Each structure stands twice: as structure tokens, then as C-alpha cells.
Amino acid sequence: MGWNEFAFLLRGLQWTVALSLVGFIGGGVFGLAVALARTSGQPLLERVTAGYIGLFQGTPLLMQLFVVYYGLALIGLKLDAWVAVSIGFTLHASAFLGEIWRGSIQAVPRGQTEAANALSLHYVSRMKDVVLPQAFRISLPATVGFLVQLIKGTSLAAIVGFTELARAGNIVSNQTFKPLLVFAVVGALYFVMCWPLSLYGAHLERRFAAASR
Amino acid sequence: MAAANASPAPASAQPMIAMRGVEKWYGDYKALTDINLTVASGEKIVLCGPSGSGKSTLIRCINHLEPYSAGEIRVDGTLLGDDRKTIDAVRREVGMVFQQFNLFPHLTVMQNCTLAPMRSRGLGKAQAEAVARRLLDRVKILDQADKFPAQLSGGQQQRVAIARALCMKPKVMLFDEPTSALDPEMVKEVLDTMISLAEDGMTMICVTHEMGFARQVADRVIFMAGGAIVEEGHPAEFFKAPKHERTRKFLGEILGH
Amino acid sequence: MGGNVGYQLDFSVVWDALPSLLWACLGTIGLAVSGMLLAIVIGVGGVMLRDSRFKPARWAVMAFVELIRNTPFLVQIFFIFFALPLIGLRLDPTPTAILALGINGGAYAIEIIRGGVQSIGKGQIEAGLALGLHKAQVFRLIVLKPALRAIFPSLTSQFVLLTLTTSVASAISAYELTSVAQQIESNTFRSFEVYGTITVFYLVMSWLLMRVFDQISRRYFSYPVK
Ligand SMILES: Nc1ncnc2c1ncn2[C@@H]1O[C@H](COP(=O)(O)OP(=O)(O)OP(=O)(O)O)[C@@H](O)[C@H]1O
Ligand SMILES: [Mg+2]
């Protein structure tokens, strides 16, 4: 494996990062909507979002990507693989982040909502100024943990045919006939991305546990 | 020595517990220094002293929850060694009650009481339950026999813990601050149970700061500091005229003078 | 709009392939169960090494856990797939997948089991010893059930996750649902129908598993805690 191959892996890495960011940001926006709907107090909304979350938690990520990929083609959208997997990861992340943030919103003491109501704050301000900032802090360790899951999960885009890091590894491995070396390098690149995040998540968790004691 | 006279056992009888020159080291920290203590059968000892003075360590050495580093400990004549046989023999004769009750959460009150008699003494279920019923009745908690520990109050749990230890028919009972984790209104029910046990002639060593209990029940009060026994005496003298400055200071603190 | 206008959904190919898909569900469960059993063995062994006095063993376990948890399963399974022949082990894809699932699940099991053991207070063990029970009895009669209760929820959700992860084993063509679906798809080109159907199968499997575990936990771990 020479420099050319390594450079090819790094280009794959760029796509992995891009895909993770798109999924995380897109999933974050929709996930917030899911979390708010899930805690809205409207039975129908809560039921629907609970089903949405359950659907994504109860099926393999690979199937989610396949179904989105072929489903979009089915309704006549001939999209680039890049766009299709981005949509897949965004939906996936919105369900998981929605569930994490639902938990955090519900972990904010009830008294906070009651105090906000007593101050006659309306829904938007109650959420934006009182509940969500506290929920955000509570959710941080789990959110960072999910980001690690997501980065690892983007490797499955390889199976759909999108050339990110894992698929780049596959290609290089087929060219060089050194699969072990190539996948060790690929694994190391993932590790370099994920490990600091994991450590940071664990650090946040410890700090949070210490603060709430 | 006054303490020796207070002992109810005849001088010729073999002591229930005999500690000679016992030391305990945690790494290079010496937690017990030259402990010499003889407890006659039926005698009640109250052990007190500031936090970290080695009270728990001392009684935990007696049933080998902590191995001791030097000296010797005999329980009812058996020399407590590091081998499993003597440890087993001693633990079957010595009951212990902990500050945090330590009931087994997945077992009912009855099962808590029958577990060790069945598994360690080899009693049949019916026999073990008969014994347990008698002792649960004695600590006035028989009506809760089928509940789980989490469904009982702290005082009730501690009474179950006492009954559980008694089910092994021990010759000695060790208590490590049995009332310190209890809400004030529950302290009395546990102390009453201990007093009735004392009246029945049980040999007892109690680590406690309940000085009313000490006055009423103890044959000897022992004061420890820095891992050593500083002073001991009959409660009447011990409380009225403590000999050592450290004892006076300690009593002043806990009696709120 | 592309050439797909007027595309008609056709589930008849799925209907024809139903027997092989249902058998493949058993393949998936078999893969998950064997992988989980291996994961638990690795978990128990790992915890013992992790808390042993032998420092290099502790470090090795910690490194193993971090390595597995911070790399994708797809890369792990490829690595193992290519590494086994080099150490002289010729395994079929399915046993290879079980090995990979077990190693991956094992890293998570170590953390879960360790938490369970640590959740049992020292006082429980001391109370058992003070009552004259032996170490082995204390473990079996006093520590085991509360520890199992403590780890049961995380361990079973880990199992459901592992069941879903088995679909990645299709990358090395192990016998399981996704691989079988891929074969059917490549013969019929009915991608959406095939993958949509097996997605529902996965959903049903994970739902059933959760129900079963819930029942077990109600039956065996129903004692109250404060
Ligand atoms: N496992 C251990 N390792 C190291 N040091 C210990 C250990 N257990 C106890 N010690 C030390 O031994 C000394 C005596 O402890 P011990 O628990 O016997 O005190 P105590 O008199 O019972 O105090 P308290 O009233 O707080 O219960 C303390 O300084 C303690 O820090
Ligand atoms: Mg103590």
C-alpha cells in the first residue's frame, strides 16, 4: 500500500466525515421536531412519533438505507447515491436523537415547567428559555455517544455502493491484495475519529454524575 | 480491676472470646495495636470511640471478615486461623448485625432467615422455618415474614437482620453500630430487641454510641482510640469518672456537654 | 422523472420466496444467539481479567473494549474474515460472522457485566460470609440473582442490537436474512419489495424478543427494591 492508496483512503475519510455531519445536523433538526412532538402532550402526535422511533430502533440500519435508497428510486426520484444515503442517515439520526432528547426533556424536573407556567410563559418561551437549555445539558453525553454510533454507522453506506472510508478500504484491498493491512489502517482512521469523542462523552457523563450528586 | 469483678461468669470457665496481642495492618497503616480482650460467656461489652479508632476492625477480626496480622484470637476455645475449617467453625458460632442491615433484597424475610441454617447448618426446610418463625416472633415481626426487605422500614429491617443472625443459634452476637442508619423514631425498637437479647444471657459485643443502652445493659464499656484500647470499666464508673483525658473529651462530645 | 413512471409494486416474488426468507430468519436468530453466548463468555472472562491484579491483563482488556467500541462492525468483520486464514483457521462465512459478532458484543458485555457486579454492595457479601456461607455459596445464592437483575435490561437490549447487527454479516455472505434477501433481489430486481418485507421481519423479530425478555424479567426478577 503506497501513498496513492493512502490518499484514496483519506478521500474516503472526507466522505465519511461529510456524511456523518450531514446526518448529524439534519438528524438534529428533525430530531428536535420529533422530540418536541413526542413530548407535546397531544396523544396522536405522541403515538405517531413513538411509532417512528420504534421503527428505526427495531430494524437494522442497513435495511433503513436499502429501503430509503430503493424507495426513492421507486417514486421516480433518480438521485445520486450521495443524496440518497444522506436522506437515509438523516432519518435514522432524527429517530435516535429524537428519543435521546425526549428522555432529556422529560428528565427536566416538572417544577421547571410549572414555574414557567406560573410566570405565564407561553409554549415557545417555556421550551426555548427554560426546558430545552436544561435538557440540552442532560442530553449531551448521550448525544455525543450517538455521534460515535453514527460515524461508525456511515460505514454501511459502503454496502449500498457509496465510496466512503470503508468502501475505499475495500477497493484498495482488492487492488493491493493486502486486506489485513488496509483494514487495519481503515480501522485506525475510524478509531482516531471516534475515540476522542467517546472519551469526551465519558468525561461529560462523569461530570454530570458528580454535579447531580 | 473492677471490670473483672463485673463479669458474671465463674473464673474457671473458658472465655467465649479471647484476643491476645492482636494487631491489624492495612498495608503499612496499623489499624489495631496490641488488643487484649477477654469476654466471658454471657458478658455484654459496649465498644465506643471516635471515628476511625478501629472499633469495626476489631469486631470484624473476630469473625474473620478481616484477617488479623498478629497475635491470636480464640472463640469458644477454637483458635481462629487462616484456614477455611476454623473460619467456618467460628462464623457458625458468631452472629453479626451491620449498620446497613445487609438483608438480601431478592429473598423474603423468611428466606433471609432460613438461607444460612439450611445451607450452612444443613437443617431441613421445615425445621429451619420453625426456628425462623420462633425468632421472627421474638423480634415481633412474624407477620411480615413473606415480605421483601424493600417493603419494610429501617427498624423492621434491622430486627429481621437480628433474627436472621439468631437463626444460626450463635453463641456470640456482634453489633456494628446497629442503630446509626436508622431514623430516630426507630432506634428504640431495635435497642429494645437488643436489651431483651441481653436479658436472655447472650454474649454480646456492641459498637454503639447509645450511652443509655450502655448504662442499662453493658457489663463493661471499652473505649478505643487510635487502634488501641485506652480504657475500660463498669458503666457506672466509666461514665462517672473516666480516667483518661481522651475518654473525658470523647464522652463530653457525644453526651453533649 | 426517470424511467420508473408507472412502476407497479409486485410482491409475488416475495411470496414465492417466503419459505426461504422465513428459514433465513431462523439463521439470523441462530447467528444472534450464538454470537451473544460467545459475547457473554468473553464478557465474563474479560471482567475477571479487567479486575485482576495482573496489570498487563487489565490494560489489554481496556484496550480491547476501546478498540471494538470505536470502530465499525463492518471493518471488524472484514478484518476477522481476512485475518483467520493467516493464522491457519479456515472457517465458513457463518462461523466467521458468529466470531465477529461475539467479539463485538463481548466488548459491550464486559462493561455491562462489570457494572452489574459492582452494583452488588460489599455488605451483601460480608453478610453472607458472616452467616457462615462459603464464597461459592455467597456468589450463587446472594450475588448472582441481584447481579443478573441489574444487568438484564442492558444485556437484553444489547442482544436485540446484536440481532439487528447480524444483517451486516451479509457483507461476507453469512447465512442470515439479509444475505438471502440479496440473492432473491439479484434474481428478481424487486429490490424495494424484498427489502421492505424483510425490514418488517426484523421489526417483528426485535419486537418479539423484547416481549419475551420483558416476560422473563417480570417472572424472575419481580422482587421489589426501594
Ligand atoms: N479496607 C481498609 N483499607 C485500608 N484502611 C482501612 C480499611 N478499613 C479500615 N481502614 C482504616 O482503619 C481505621 C479503622 O477503621 P474502622 O472502620 O475500624 O474505624 P471505626 O472505629 O469503626 O470508625 P467509624 O466510627 O467511622 O465506623 C481507619 O483509619 C480506616 O481508615
Ligand atoms: Mg465502624
- The predicted-structure confidence for C5-36, as pLDDT tens digits, reads as follows 557 888 888 898 999 999 999 999 999 999 99
Burial class (CB in 10 A: 0-12, 13-18, 19+), A119: exposed
Region A107-133: mean pLDDT is 88
Torsion (CA) C159, C161, C162, C166 in degrees, nearest 10: 140
Query: How large is the ipTM?
Result: 0.93
Q: B51: Cβ below 6 Å to ligand 1?
A: yes
Q: Is the dihedral of CA B132, B133, B137, B141 positive or negative?
A: positive
**Cα(B87)–Cα(A149) distance, integer angstroms:** 51
Chain B: residue whose CA lies nearest to C220: B106
Handedness of CA C38, C40, C43, C49 (dihedral sign): negative
Nearest-Cα residue of chain A relative to residue C83: A180
- CB–CB of C74/A166 below 8 Å? yes
The answer, for C148 touching chain B at a CB cutoff of 8 Å, is no
**pLDDT score at B249:** 92
Reported confidence tier of residue A122, pLDDT bands at 50, 70, 90: confident
Query: CB atoms < 10 A from the CB of B255, how many?
Result: 10
Least confident of A7-21, C5-19, C198-212: C5-19
The type of residue at B42 is G
A58, A17, A56, A31: which is closest to A155 by C-alpha?
A: A17
A86: containing domain: 3-150+162-211
Q: What is the mean pLDDT of residues B51-65?
A: 95
* DSSP code, position A42: -
Q: What is the pLDDT of residue A213?
A: 59
pLDDT at B7 over 50: no
Reported confidence tier of residue B257, pLDDT bands at 50, 70, 90:
low
**Helix or strand or coil: residue B191?**
helix
Residues of C in contact with A77 (CB under 8 A): 2
Residue A174 placed within a domain: yes
Question: Environment class of residue A72 by beta-carbon count within 10 Å: exposed (0-12), middle (13-18) or buried (19+)?
Answer: middle
Instruction: In whole angstroms, give the CA distance from residue A18 to residue A26.
Output: 12
- Please give the helix or strand (H or E) that residue B222 lies within, else none: strand B220-225
> What cell was used for C141?
445464592
pLDDT at B145: 96
* Range C132-159 average pLDDT: 92
Q: Is the pLDDT of residue B112 over 80?
A: yes
Burial profile C162-188: b = 16 or more Cβ within 10 angstroms, e = fewer:
bbbbbbbbbbbbbbbbbbbbbebbeeb
Average pLDDT, chain B: 92
pLDDT at B9 over 80: no
- Residue partners of B7: CB distance under 8 A and separation at least 6: B40, B43, B219, B220
Residue A135 domain flag = yes
Segment C162-188 shows an average pLDDT of 95
Q: Which of A1-5, A44-48, B109-113, B249-253 has the lowest mean pLDDT?
A: A1-5
The C-alpha atoms of residue C137 and residue C128 are separated, in whole angstroms, by 8
CATH of the domain at A183: 1.10.3720.10
Query: If residue B229 lies in a helix (H) or strand (E), which one and from where to where?
Result: strand B228-233
Spatial separation of the C-alpha atoms in residues B20 and B74, rounded to whole Å: 9
Percent of chain A predicted with pLDDT > 70: 99
What single-letter DSSP state applies at residue C143? I
Are A78 and C78 a contacting pair at CB < 8 A? no
Averaged pLDDT for residues C168-184: 95
CA atoms within a 13 Å half-sphere pointing along the CA-CB vector of C181: 29
pLDDT number for residue B12: 52
Q: Is the model's pLDDT at A94 over the cut of 90? A: yes
Whether pLDDT at B178 is above 80: yes
| Chains B and A are touching, with contact defined as 3 or more CB–CB pairs separated by less than 8 Å | no
| Stretch C102-126: mean pLDDT | 93
Minimal Cβ distance to C226: which of B88, B119, B150? B150
User: In residues, how long is chain B?
Assistant: 257
Rounded-to-5 percentages of helix, strand, coil across chain A: 85, 0, 15
Which residue, among A152, A157, A191, has the nearest Cα to C72 in the 3D structure?
A: A152
Q: Which chains touch A (3 or more CB pairs under 8 A)?
A: C
> What total number of domains does chain A contain?
1
Q: Tell me, what's the pLDDT at B5?
A: 44
The model's confidence at residue B254, banded by pLDDT at 50, 70 and 90, is confident
Residue A19 has pLDDT above 90, yes or no: yes
Q: Provide the mean pLDDT of chain C.
A: 92
| C-alpha Rg value of chain B to the nearest Å | 18
pLDDT higher than threshold 60 for residue C4: no
3-state class (DSSP) for residue B124: coil
Q: What is the pLDDT of residue C226?
A: 72
Residues on chain A bordering chain C, Cβ-to-Cβ distance under 8 angstroms: 55, 57-64, 66-67, 70-71, 73-78, 148, 152-153, 155-156, 158-159, 166, 169-170, 173, 179-180, 183-184, 186-187, 190-191, 194-195, 198
CATH fold label, C12-221: MetI-like fold (1.10.3720)
pLDDT in tens, B31-57: 999 999 999 999 999 999 999 999 999
Chains touching C by CB (3 or more pairs below 8 Å): A, B
Strands B29-39 and B78-79 turn out to be unpaired
B168 pLDDT above the threshold of 70: yes
* Whether the predicted pLDDT of C177 surpasses 80: yes
pTM: 0.83
Instruction: Say whether pLDDT at A146 is over 80.
Output: yes
Mean of the pLDDT values across residues B6-15?
60
Paired with B38 in beta bridges are: B18
Predicted confidence band of residue B13 (pLDDT cuts 50, 70, 90): confident
Judge residue C13's burial from the number of C-beta atoms within 10 Å of its C-beta, 0-12 exposed, 13-18 middle, 19 or more buried: middle
Please check the confidence at residue B8 and state whether its pLDDT lies above 60: no
Q: For residue A150, what pLDDT is reported? A: 97
Q: Are the C-beta atoms of residues A147 and A20 closer than 8 Å to each other? A: yes
User: Tens digits of per-residue pLDDT, B180-197?
Assistant: 999 999 999 999 999 999
Residue pair A154/A64 in contact by the 8 Å Cβ criterion: no
